[in-house]
Structure 1
Amino acid sequence: MNRSIILTVTFMLSGVLFSAQTSDKQAPQGFDVENPTISHGKIDTVQYVSKTVGTTRKALIYTAPGFKKGNKYPVLYLLHGIGGDEKEWFNQGKPNVILDNLYAQGKLQPMIVVLPNGRAMKNDRATGNIMAPDKVEAFTTFEKDLLNDLIPFVEKKYPVKKDRESRALAGLSMGGGQTQNFAFGNIDKFAWLGAFSSAPNTKEPDKLLPNPQDALKLKLIFISCGDADGLMPFSKRTSDYLKKNKIPHIFYIEPGGHDFKVWKNDLYIFSQLLFKPVNKSQFSNFTVLGTPEATNIRNTQYPKILPDGRVMFKIKAPEAQKVQIDLEKKDALKKESDSFWIGTTDPQSGSFHYYSLLIDGVAVADPSSETFYGMGRYASGIDIPFEGDDFML
């Protein structure tokens, strides 16, 4: 057989917490493009006195279209990454445009969005060595600035609701780590958590939540990451810990890396879930991609395991006439392009499974996986975790 037939395999097991439902789980084209025919919110720069830092600090505040001082609004605090400041989201993420468009479609609860500078130090600009120890430490110090200075300022200056169920915290990268650290550490202050592509500043799960059941007090835990993001382990380890302790949450794995294409999509999805009744049993209705299987070779992205045990393959076999996966039963793949075949199996039981590719009826091992002796011959293998299995950690 021509070896070009056997090339790349993409394998996915779907089931972190979602099923294949894509209509409103991925931002549509144009979601971040300004629409001149609709009403627009307003972005203001504000200054507040920070006793924590000992100086006056800046933040941006977005008020929704139709904002009225006589109403009371919930608040989303939206945090930036290690190389940004209070303008990073505004300049690169277009939150005002994304939210304006969602308001026009009737998909959002009216809210105020605060874009602070998460680097709590006197010279809080993202200049020089952004990885310098004092600048990194300033992201930790921001917890005090947020709780003791910024939130009181917002609640004094703006018509906002002051209960924990009316406060959400979300952020990207370094801000995603801050979000997990601050929200899990102050469940009496926040009820909504959105951690996008969390960075290494994220505390280890047992330090984030020494008493995991405390997380049940949160209305929503939304953890997301691009499937090609090298920081995936920091998001996954939190999700694994929550899953092991039976804490309902969304673990949204999406196509992409560590960039605003991913984070804008995250904001689009997360914002629609805020300050509304939450049906945690529906957390499984999110489209996800998988994480690479432990038996993959050469750092290949596939096979991938997803929590419900479904398996999707994507095989590069340009000369094949028929491609099947032999995993418990034979599943035919559909040709997607001139080179690739795709398909999804039924959920598999939690255990070790042998599998083979069938290329025009010939059984071959998956070149992206380690090889094992099983099925009376050499075959590929995948270990699907079962509930309570520490493998997930």
Structure 2
Amino acid sequence: MKINTIFSFITLAVATKVSAECFAEKLGKPCCTETLDVVRVDENGQWGMENGQFCGLQSFNNNYDLNLERRSLNNYMNKVKIEKLCPEDLLEIKKGVNYPTVDSLTYYSTTTETNRTLTVLVPPNYSPKKKYPVLYLLHGIMTDGAWMIQDGFGTIAIPGNLAHQKKAKEMFIVLPDQYAPSPGTEVEPALNQEFFNGYDNFINDLVNDIMPFMKKQYSIKTDRKNTAISGYSFGGRNSLYIGITRSDLFGYVGSFSPAPGLVPGDDIFTGHFDGLYQEKELKFKHQPYLTMLSCGTNDTVVFDFPKQYHEILKTNKQEHIWYEITGHDHMDNESFSSPYHNFLTSIFDQVNEKPKTTTTTKKTTGVKTKITKVVKVVVTKFIKVPAQKTKKNN
């Protein structure tokens, strides 16, 4: 018998044993029988996902009480459905579908005391008479906001297609430049704390300058129920940092393949770092409606740091969804497009929208479809990919 077959048999046997003892049946949910992958955690225990619905894995050894707000949030996250890979058709620009338009703006930052660029995706058919929710989407290190709208990522195509299908709300998506050093502290890009300080300081630029600018520039909603933050790589690390630090402002937090540096640790690229928080401090004062973390299983850039964040949040009893993208590395487009599309279909109360009935339904064949990769983005950790921008002064 092949080793892989033996391993599969053992995994299934263990999963079956766990399912027999799981808590989910008491809650009207099935127990997992085919997976041990944890995709979310709450006060009851660990949850996996099979056949498009949550299934119970195991219970916590200790129970704790949640206040009414947290019980409500738990119900919200229970409604979130995760697709491991973004459907290929969502990445395509199609005829007859309206997509967000790109505004390239300039604003004055009191944080850096300089004029700074800001890329904004404006919802189709934008009307100042209507107010829209806002997602702040953060890029990786040594790039900028405009880098996020390059071909292959689906940053523009995915929200346009989802909104057209009524699977996501129309929203503003703000792509800022995260490097925001205090006056006189700007340094050349490098993998060291001196350079990272400019990224750590971005929280001040976002809260004190960008968010007020957006409120003045566009017709937007500003309450936390209509304000989200997410990011990829270093942006994933910063979205989690900002989401925790200013949980009064952001009701939804997405952290895609987050980089190290949130808590103390050691990294092969940067050495030892003190971290922005101690592990026990990694808690939300105001629990988000949704916290989502993800990472590829073959990530050779951030390695297992995202999973460490998941384990810390789990230890600190912070409700969140965690899932892994099997077989994918850090620079694979799927490591961004997968959580990006899952996040968009889950924020701004979208999970409470009733799906519209259709006249025809497709039968499930049970045949696994291979998802073709989108155009591979060829970048290195140290090279910034240029993107064309049209500046508009305000």
Select between 32-41 and 179-188 the one with higher mean Cα deviation. Answer: 32-41
- Please state how far the C-alpha of 1:241 moved relative to its aligned partner: 2.3
Alignment of 1:247 with 2:307, yes or no, is no
Alignment of 1:76 with 2:135, yes or no, is yes
Query: Which residue number in structure 2 is paired with residue 91 of structure 1?
Result: 150
Matches within 5 A, 1:302-381: none
Backbone CA RMSD of aligned residues: 2.9
Alignment of 1:220 with 2:283, yes or no, is no
Query: Are the structure 2 counterparts of residues 252 and 55 from structure 1 closer, same or farther at C-alpha, using a change threshold of 3 Å?
Result: same
- Please state how far the C-alpha of 1:14 moved relative to its aligned partner: 2.6
SS of corresponding position for 2:97: coil
Distance (Å, rounded) in 1 between the aligned partners of 2:188 and 2:282:
39
Query: Are the structure 2 counterparts of residues 129 and 176 from structure 1 closer, same or farther at C-alpha, using a change threshold of 3 Å?
Result: same
Distance (Å, rounded) in 1 between the aligned partners of 2:4 and 2:350:
47
- Please state how far the C-alpha of 1:133 moved relative to its aligned partner: 4.4
Q: TM-score, normalised by structure 1?
A: 0.64
Q: Which amino acid aligns with 2:179?
A: R
Distance (Å, rounded) in 2 between the aligned partners of 1:130 and 1:213:
30
- Please state how far the C-alpha of 1:62 moved relative to its aligned partner: 0.6
Query: Are the structure 2 counterparts of residues 108 and 45 from structure 1 closer, same or farther at C-alpha, using a change threshold of 3 Å?
Result: same
- Please state how far the C-alpha of 1:232 moved relative to its aligned partner: 4.3
For residue 189 of structure 1, the aligned residue among 249, 270, 284 is 249
Distance (Å, rounded) in 2 between the aligned partners of 1:208 and 1:186:
17
Aligned length: 275
Q: Deviations over 1:19-65 (max 9, x none)?
A: 12359613112221111221222111011100110100011111112
In structure 1, stretches of 5+ residues that fail to align are 280-335, 337-393
- Please state how far the C-alpha of 1:128 moved relative to its aligned partner: 6.1
Contact (CA 8 Å) 1:168, 1:191: kept in 2 or not? yes
Query: Which residue number in structure 2 is paired with residue 236 of structure 1?
Result: 307
Contact (CA 8 Å) 1:169, 1:194: kept in 2 or not? yes
Distance (Å, rounded) in 1 between the aligned partners of 2:147 and 2:231:
11
Distance (Å, rounded) in 2 between the aligned partners of 1:15 and 1:188:
28
SS of corresponding position for 2:310: helix
Contact (CA 8 Å) 1:184, 1:208: kept in 2 or not? no
SS of corresponding position for 2:135: strand
Select between 269-278 and 191-200 the one with higher mean Cα deviation. Answer: 269-278
Q: Which amino acid aligns with 1:13?
A: L
Distance (Å, rounded) in 2 between the aligned partners of 1:278 and 1:105:
14
Alignment of 1:27 with 2:98, yes or no, is no
Alignment of 1:203 with 2:203, yes or no, is no
Select between 46-55 and 159-168 the one with higher mean Cα deviation. Answer: 159-168
Select between 113-122 and 54-63 the one with higher mean Cα deviation. Answer: 113-122
Q: Which amino acid aligns with 1:176?
A: G
Alignment of 1:175 with 2:235, yes or no, is yes
Distance (Å, rounded) in 1 between the aligned partners of 2:299 and 2:128:
41
- Please state how far the C-alpha of 1:7 moved relative to its aligned partner: 6.4
In structure 2, stretches of 5+ residues that fail to align are 12-34, 41-47, 53-80, 265-274, 353-367, 369-394
Q: Which amino acid aligns with 1:65?
A: P
Distance (Å, rounded) in 2 between the aligned partners of 1:232 and 1:215:
28
Considering only CA atoms, is the larger Rg found in Structure 1 or Structure 2?
1
Matches within 5 A, 1:272-291: 272-276=345-349
- Please state how far the C-alpha of 1:82 moved relative to its aligned partner: 0.6
Contact (CA 8 Å) 1:220, 1:278: kept in 2 or not? no
Greater relative CO (CA pairs within 8 A, separation 6+): 1
SS of corresponding position for 2:124: coil
Query: Which residue number in structure 1 is paired with residue 215 of structure 2?
Result: 155
